[in-house]
């Protein structure tokens, strides 16, 4: 699995969302590399991680990342939040958890109303086999939809999408199944590390009320809603995200 390390200071692991790669955090890395040693992960089947040896499964990927990085605060964006939360709940080397536009459960249920309809990810999976390029473009458009800087964010994501090679179709299907089926809410009340939950007020994929509800289940948690931001707040609102992360990571230091 490809992990790019840069900067110096306390360690911070960053895990990207569906169909992208660690390069999506470039604007954030520019602002944090002078204060933190950053470990930018390419999930299996994404970016430079083309080796099929590690399946896109929560436990396997979390353990594989932990074996490659020192004790650190872990950040997960969107799908990446599931891996970060799994690691924070099960691995002793995680010192803090930052969830960016991510929740422990991405699909709606009777007791979890602020999420997407269950059929959304299944539909993307079906469309992926029929129109691979078009489906990816529609999905990343949702990442930026509603943001006050949406046009610039979408242009950047489109450029990044194939910058490290096209993501593996099977890994994309595995990722959609994780988004559709994962429910890590039970791990929150016993979370032993502090957590920061950053949500965009205009997010069309992860409702900020869902993030707020998730944060309320975890001890030592803080929820921050970013006005004007959508599903990728670290692009159009990078300074605000960097400031929140820096303060959180400083407070999470051993």
- Quickly list DSSP for 133-187: HHHHHHHHHHHHTT-TTHHHHHHHHHHHHTTT-PPPHHHHHHHHHHHHH---GGG
Q: Which two tokens stand for residue 145?
A: 């939809």
Point out the residues that are catalytic: 78, 203, 231
Instruction: Go through 62-75 and write b for each residue having 16 or more CB atoms within 10 A of its CB, e for each that does not.
Output: bbbbbeebeebbbb
Query: Tokens at residue 213, please?
Result: 């509800």
């Amino acid at each position: 699995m490809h992990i790019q390390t840069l900067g110096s200071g306390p360690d911070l692991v960053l895990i990207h969302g569906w169909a992208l790669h660690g390069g999506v955090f470039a604007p954030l890395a520019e602002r944090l590399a002078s204060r933190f040693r950053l470990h930018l992960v390419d999930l299996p089947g994404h970016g430079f991680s083309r080796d099929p040896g590690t399946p896109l499964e929560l436990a396997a990927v979390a353990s594989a990342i932990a074996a490659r990085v020192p004790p650190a605060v872990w950040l997960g964006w969107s799908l990446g939040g599931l891996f970060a939360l799994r690691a924070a709940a099960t691995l002793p080397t995680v010192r803090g958890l930052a969830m960016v536009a991510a929740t422990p459960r991405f699909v709606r249920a009777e007791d979890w109303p602020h999420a997407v309809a269950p059929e959304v990810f299944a539909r993307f999976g079906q469309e992926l086999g029929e129109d691979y390029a078009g489906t990816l473009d529609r999905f990343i458009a949702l990442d930026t939809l509603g943001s006050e800087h949406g046009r610039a964010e979408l242009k950047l994501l489109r450029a990044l999408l194939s910058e490290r090679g096209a993501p593996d179709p099977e890994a994309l299907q595995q990722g959609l199944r994780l988004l559709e089926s994962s429910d890590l809410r039970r791990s929150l009340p016993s979370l032993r590390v502090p957590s920061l939950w950053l949500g965009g007020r205009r997010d069309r994929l992860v409702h900020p009320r869902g993030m707020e509800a998730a944060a309320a289940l975890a001890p030592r948690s803080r929820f921050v809603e970013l006005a004007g931001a959508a599903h990728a707040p670290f692009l159009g609102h990078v300074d605000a995200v960097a400031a929140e992360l820096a303060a959180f990571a400083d407070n999470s230091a051993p």
